[in-house]
Amino acid sequence: MAEQTAKRPVSVPLMADLAARGESPEVLFWVGCAGAFDDRYKRVTRAFVRILEHVGVSYAVLGMEESCTGDPAKRAGNEFLFQMQAMTNIATLNGYGIKKVVTACPHCFNTIKNEYPALGGEYEVIHHSTFLQQLINEGRVTAKGGESFKGRRITFHDSCYLGRANNIYEAPREVLEVLDADLLEMKRCKTNGLCCGAGGAQMWKEPEPGKKDVNIERAEEALATLDGDAGVLLNLQGVESTAPVLPAGSNRGGSVIAVACPFCMTMMADGVKNKDREQDVQVFDLAELIASAEGLNA
Amino acid sequence: MHFSIQNILFLLVAVAGFGLFAWQARKIRANILVGRDRDMSGHTSERLWKTLLVAFGQQKMFKRLTPAILHLIVYVGFIVINIEVLEIMVDGLFGTHRFLQFLGPLYSALTGTNEVLGALVVLAVVAFWWRRNVGVVRRFTGPELRAWPKLDANVILYVEVILMVALFLMNSADLKLHQLEGKNLPGAFPISQFLTGLLPDSLTALVVLERVGWWAHIVGILLFLNYLPSSKHFHIIMAFPNVFYSRLVPQGQFSNVDSITHEVKAMMDPSYQVPAPATNPDGSAAAPTPFGAKDVDDLAWTNLLNAYSCTECGRCTSVCPANLTGKLLSPRKIIMDTRDRVEEKYNSPLIFHPSLYGPEAKHTPQEQFDKENHTLLRGYVTPEELWACTTCNACVEACPVNINPLESIIEMRRFLVLEESAAPNSLNVMFSNIENNGAPWAFSPSDRFNWADDLFVAKK
């Protein structure tokens, strides 16, 4: 777009300020540690806030009152630390009378949705893929007026904590449908999706000795899917279905590996970098794709 | 009816066969119940429905079509042919001959179906054998599938062929006997009618062959029944309770340790009343249970039920991201280790004892075998395996009988971290970051809201 888009500053509403005014938001946006601190995923947080602002959802964030959900501690076996974190967060959320939580992190989503209720934290928790799908279905987001993805190749990498952990497979795909791109499925997708390698606290440690890092294995599959590289796809292991569906024509570049998880984002981006393919394949979160298709970046 | 010494002999054989099996089953039940208590009551209709789909309906097998069809043939063959076993039992006890023949056309349908299924079972078993020994499907290899587990898998296939051959020998000899005597044998025999030519024409020989087939079939089944508790083939029974008692909650939901909940609540609220610790029947304080699992009796009974339901198919390991990329972790091995360890520490079924397999059958390489800590953790499963897990649930999703290797992995991680403080150092750094900064990375909590600085949105 040649002309300078008009923009307005966003002052992200803090829950403490709303509470002081006696207001309560429709939904609390749980940012998560990656969304708050990881430079790459901060862009996802900002993209998601732009969407919230654009559609006019009443929302708030906890800001500095937010703390780690405890997910990495729990997966690593430190149940004590997990429960300390959980109960602190539950005290904060219950103190504000929070009813509904949306988050862009499948790990936060899974933990708050499934593991907080038994500790006294019961909320309606939705992942941002489901939230975006609802906005699209309601016609509040059309993915028009911004960057066009028409004809570009996109493959979605399932996050374990969204997919197998919580059976959310269709929402992210329906979000991508609206982009009018060429959506390609990896052979290991949905229930059979291959982990990026970061779950279970692997994000914070070196992998055990082996032949290869998991994210390289997954990045190779994603790249072969976008490229239509039959040789690589036929030799994948741990596959249930048989013949891969190959895209017509060659990869024209500008292809996207779509993710819906901060750790998948890091792992897939590292994998693409390792394969020296950053120039023609990018890794984006669903919220970033929607925000730029809707023309919200400013 | 021709009541004879054969019937008394049969009664003795049957009582011995079923009695021995009941004796073995009791030992296994006791082994499973050494696991920690876990309330799995309630949700009966939901559990029955799941059992119907996953266990009876083989739902998860159909993720891979070729083995699903082969397995379905053997499974349906097993169920239908067992109706004939019922007839054999009655004939054996009361000296009747094909007592179900009063069913008339239905009997013809039953025997005909049996014969066709019997032939298909033989073909399917040949295909299974090929996949396991010649075509070599990758998941049938691996360090845990050596020695006994490898032999066991083939023994099952050989026994199934022997049982089918016995069935056809019995039917074709019986058929030829009736033909030679000018009588009509009730039932339909679409396969055996082509086999009669292979048999001798002597009536005496045919009588003997029919008896040999009959006895071989039923004695073979009773022997096989008693082989099950030592074999991966035990899954034909255990799959059903295992699926019934499998988790109904989302796969991503890990258990919250109750004793820790009490401690944390007491820390946050001094007025919180921690429930009184468990006591022994004599009133003395019971030994506190450790956090997590060091040995099999620290696992829940459902985890031990898992171990007895495993058929070592390796679907879990074949989709495990750690295993696919060459790490030591194999979810199948952890389940097999659990079963070996529980039989080593507690009751072993009659026939095989894990210590008889020899060191080459151990799933853990000898150099890693920790003799000091001869427990499930370290004695069988090494920390390196446990730390390679990404908790991605691929193994849980892949298991056709709803075994959950992830639960056991997490329980052992809990023991390593909470009882031994033996987490990898980088994870200890992550823990202290969470404790000090409320984030797994070393960022200051005061920077947590910086992402919102200088944020603009396009005006539309």
Please write the tens of the pLDDT for every residue from B19-78. 999 999 999 999 999 999 999 888 999 999 999 999 989 999 888 888 999 999 999 998
Residue B251 with chain A: CB contacts under 8 Å: 164-166
Per-residue pLDDT of B134-188, as tens digits, reads 977 888 888 888 778 888 899 999 999 999 999 999 999 999 999 888 888 888 8
Place of tokens 């290869």: A212
Q: Which residues contact A3 (CB under 8 A, 6 or more apart)?
A: none
Q: Cα(A282)–Cα(A141) distance, rounded to whole angstroms?
A: 23
Same fold, A15-133 and A145-293: yes
Beta bridge mates, A258: A156, A284
User: Does any domain span residue B452?
Assistant: no
Q: Cα(A195)–Cα(A169) distance, rounded to whole angstroms?
A: 14
Quick one: average pLDDT of B302-306? 97
Does the pLDDT value for residue B362 go beyond 70? no
Q: How many domains does chain B have?
A: 2
Q: Is the ipTM of this complex over 0.90?
A: yes
- Tell me the residues of chain B between 343 and 372 that have a Cβ less than 8 Å away from chain A: none
- What confidence category does residue B451 fall into, taking pLDDT thresholds of 50, 70 and 90? very high
The predicted pLDDT at position B370 comes to: 57
Taking a C-beta distance cutoff of 8 angstroms, is the pair B309, B401 a contact? Answer: yes
Residues B222 and B296 in one domain: no
Residue B452 with chain A: CB contacts under 8 Å: 10, 12, 46, 49, 61, 63
Residues B324 and B412 in one domain: yes
For A165, the closest of B321, B393, B440 (CB atoms) is B393
Does the pLDDT value for residue B1 go beyond 70? no
Q: Does B264 touch chain A (CB under 8 A)?
A: yes
Q: Does A17 touch chain B (CB under 8 A)?
A: no
> B459 vs A7: CB contact, 8 Å cut-off?
yes
For B252, the closest of A66, A110, A296 (CB atoms) is A110
> A68 vs B438: CB contact, 8 Å cut-off?
yes
Quick one: average pLDDT of B233-243? 95
Vertex A86: Cα angle to A85 and A90 (nearest 5): 120
Per-residue pLDDT of B100-124, as tens digits, reads 888 888 999 999 999 999 999 999 9
Does the pLDDT value for residue B276 go beyond 90? no
The predicted pLDDT at position A1 comes to: 45
Residue A160 with chain B: CB contacts under 8 Å: 390-394
Residue A88 with chain B: CB contacts under 8 Å: 268
> B431 vs A160: CB contact, 8 Å cut-off?
no
Taking a C-beta distance cutoff of 8 angstroms, is the pair B386, B416 a contact? Answer: yes
For A77, the closest of B329, B397, B416 (CB atoms) is B416
The predicted pLDDT at position B353 comes to: 61
Q: Does A149 touch chain B (CB under 8 A)?
A: no
Helix B331-345 / helix B5-32 crossing angle, nearest 10 deg: 110
User: Does any domain span residue B145?
Assistant: yes
User: Does any domain span residue B48?
Assistant: no
The predicted pLDDT at position B33 comes to: 95
For B321, the closest of A77, A91, A194 (CB atoms) is A194
The rounded mean pLDDT for chain A is: 93
Residues B194 and B77 in one domain: yes
Tell me the one-letter amino acid at B153: A
Q: What are phi and psi of B206, to 5 degrees?
A: -65, -40
Q: Which of A202, A203, A242 to mutate to test the interface with B (most CBs of B within 10 A)?
A: A202
Does the pLDDT value for residue B351 go beyond 80? no
Residues B68 and B216 in one domain: yes
Tell me the one-letter amino acid at A252: R
Residues B88 and B216 in one domain: yes
Q: Which residue has the higher pLDDT, B359 or A70?
A: A70
Taking a C-beta distance cutoff of 8 angstroms, is the pair A51, A132 a contact? Answer: yes
Tokens of A202: 């692997």
Does the pLDDT value for residue A287 go beyond 90? yes
Domain ranges of chain A: 15-133, 145-293
- What confidence category does residue B369 fall into, taking pLDDT thresholds of 50, 70 and 90? low
Q: Which chain B residue shows the shortest CA-CA distance from A202? A: B390
Q: Does B249 touch chain A (CB under 8 A)?
A: yes
Quick one: average pLDDT of A186-213? 94
Which CATH number is A145-293's, of 1.10.150, 3.30.1490, 2.30.30, 3.40.50? 3.40.50
Residue A210 with chain B: CB contacts under 8 Å: 322, 325-328, 388
Q: Does B452 touch chain A (CB under 8 A)?
A: yes
Q: Does A194 touch chain B (CB under 8 A)?
A: yes
Residue B334 maps to which CATH number?
1.10.1060
Q: Which of A214, A235, A242, A290 to mutate to test the interface with B (most CBs of B within 10 A)?
A: A214
Per-residue pLDDT of B439-448, as tens digits, reads 999 999 999 9
**Three-class HEC string of B125-139:** HHHHHHHHHCCCCHH
Does the pLDDT value for residue B368 go beyond 60? no
For B261, the closest of A64, A83, A202 (CB atoms) is A83
Q: What is the percent of chain B where pLDDT is above 70?
A: 94
Residues B307 and B220 in one domain: no
Looking at the domain that runs over A15-133, which CATH code has it been given? 3.40.50.1860
> Smallest CA–CA separation between B18 and chain A, in Å?
40
Residues B318 and B181 in one domain: no
Q: Cα(A50)–Cα(B396) distance, rounded to whole angstroms?
A: 38
Q: Which chain A residue shows the shortest CA-CA distance from B263? A: A80
Residues B81 and B209 in one domain: yes
Question: Which residues span the domain enclosing B428?
Answer: 290-437
Q: Where are the beta strands (DSSP E) in chain A?
A: 7-9, 27-30, 59-60, 100-103, 124-127, 153-156, 182-184, 255-259, 281-285
Dihedral angle sign, alpha carbons of residues B48, B49, B53, B57: positive
